[in-house]
Amino acid sequence: MSALRILVPVKRVIDYAVKPRVNKAQTGVETAGVKHSMNPFDELSVEESVRIREKKSAPGGVEDICVISAGPAKSADVLRTAMAMGADRGVHVEVKEGEDLEPLGVAKLLRAAVEKENSNLVILGKQSIDDDAAQTGQMLAGLLGWPQATQASRVVFGEGDKVEVTKEVDGGVETVRAKLPIIITTDLRINEPRYASLPNIMKAKKKPLVKMSLSDLGVANERRLKVIKVTEPPPRQGGGKVEDVDGLVSRLKELGAI
């Protein structure tokens, strides 16, 4: 069994608990002064990688856990967080604020990183909670020609480089088996990510963090989608409350709902 060289892409996004506001110019969402953190699905990917090592669940062991993020200078913070959770090192591909990559661009960048780092397992989140595209892992698998196991809730390693993954699908779960190298995207149910402890946060500051540019990886930021406008969704007005069950039933009848 090959030793695992795991690549974990992480994204810095507006914190999941913040309600995003559309900016005045209607060109996007207000990001200045808004709390950002690691995309929640990416925390699951980091956690899973660290657990694979800690639980010695892969017969060949884990040689390396490398986290990578493409984004503005502040993306280094989420890489440090990932290292505090147990990743060995980080790669920061610096992209200017407002020049975000699209999923296809990220997938191309990751393909280059996989080749450079000689990764044989990439664990991504199933989607980022800002763009909600849910594409990058699948695109990367397509570009590399690797098998993909999306929305994973369970990953089990076997002999002979085999990996068995249980995926969340509509109506239940499905299990597939493939050989390394493979792309896995994590679903909420896969694990419960740990909090980085203070000593580990301190240790993470000493772990290697390499800075790169897109051109270092031989990719360009080529955008295919132009954002024409971003608007608030039509507001929903609460219709008020009723006193009792009879009131509820008659109101639902008035509204034609029952």
Partner 1 sequence: MLFSTATRAALRSVGSLPRSTSAFSSPFSSPSALRRLLSSLAILEQRDGKLNHGSLSAITAAKKLGGSVHGFVAGSSIKPVAEEAAKVEGVEKIIAVDNAAYDKGLPENYAPLLVENIKKGGYTHIIAGHTAFGKSLLPRVAALLDSQQISDITAIENENIFVRPIYAGNAIATVESSDPIKVITIRGTAFPAAEAQGGSAAIEDGVDPNVEISVEWVSEDLAKSDRPDLATAGKVVSGGRGLKSKEDFDKIMLPLADSLGAAVGASRAAVDSGYADNSLQVGQTGKVVAPQLYLAVGISGAIQHLAGMKDSKVIAAINKDGEAPIFQVADVGLVGDLFDKVPELTEKLKSS
**Rule CB under 8 A: which of 1-60 touch partner 1?**
14, 16, 19-20, 22, 29
User: What would the x/- binding string for partner 1 be over residues 88 to 127, using CB under 8 A?
Assistant: --------------xxx--x------------------xx
Among positions 3, 73, 220, 252, the unique one binding partner 1 when judged by CB under 8 A: 252
d(CA 190, CA 8): 15
For residue 159, state whether it binds partner 1 (rule: CB under 8 A).
Answer: no
d(CA 131, CA 10): 14
Q: Are 203 and 187 in contact (CB under 8 A)?
A: no
Among positions 12, 130, 161, 214, the unique one binding partner 1 when judged by CB under 8 A: 130
Indicate the residue among 5 and 126 with the shorter CB distance to partner 1.
126
Stretch that binds partner 1, among 52-60, 61-69, 86-94, 187-195 (CB under 8 A): 187-195
Name residue, tokens 């034609």. Answer: 256
Interface size with partner 1, residues (CB under 8 A):
81
Burial of 106 from C-beta contacts in 10 A (0-12 / 13-18 / 19+): buried
Name residue, tokens 């990743």. Answer: 87
For residue 212, state whether it binds partner 1 (rule: CB under 8 A).
Answer: no
Among positions 56, 74, 96, 177, the unique one binding partner 1 when judged by CB under 8 A: 177
Stretch that binds partner 1, among 48-56, 62-70, 207-215, 241-249 (CB under 8 A): 241-249
Give me 14's structure tokens: 């507006």
- In DSSP notation, 121-167 reads EEEEES--TTT----HHHHHHHHHT--EEEEEEEEEE-STTEEEEEE
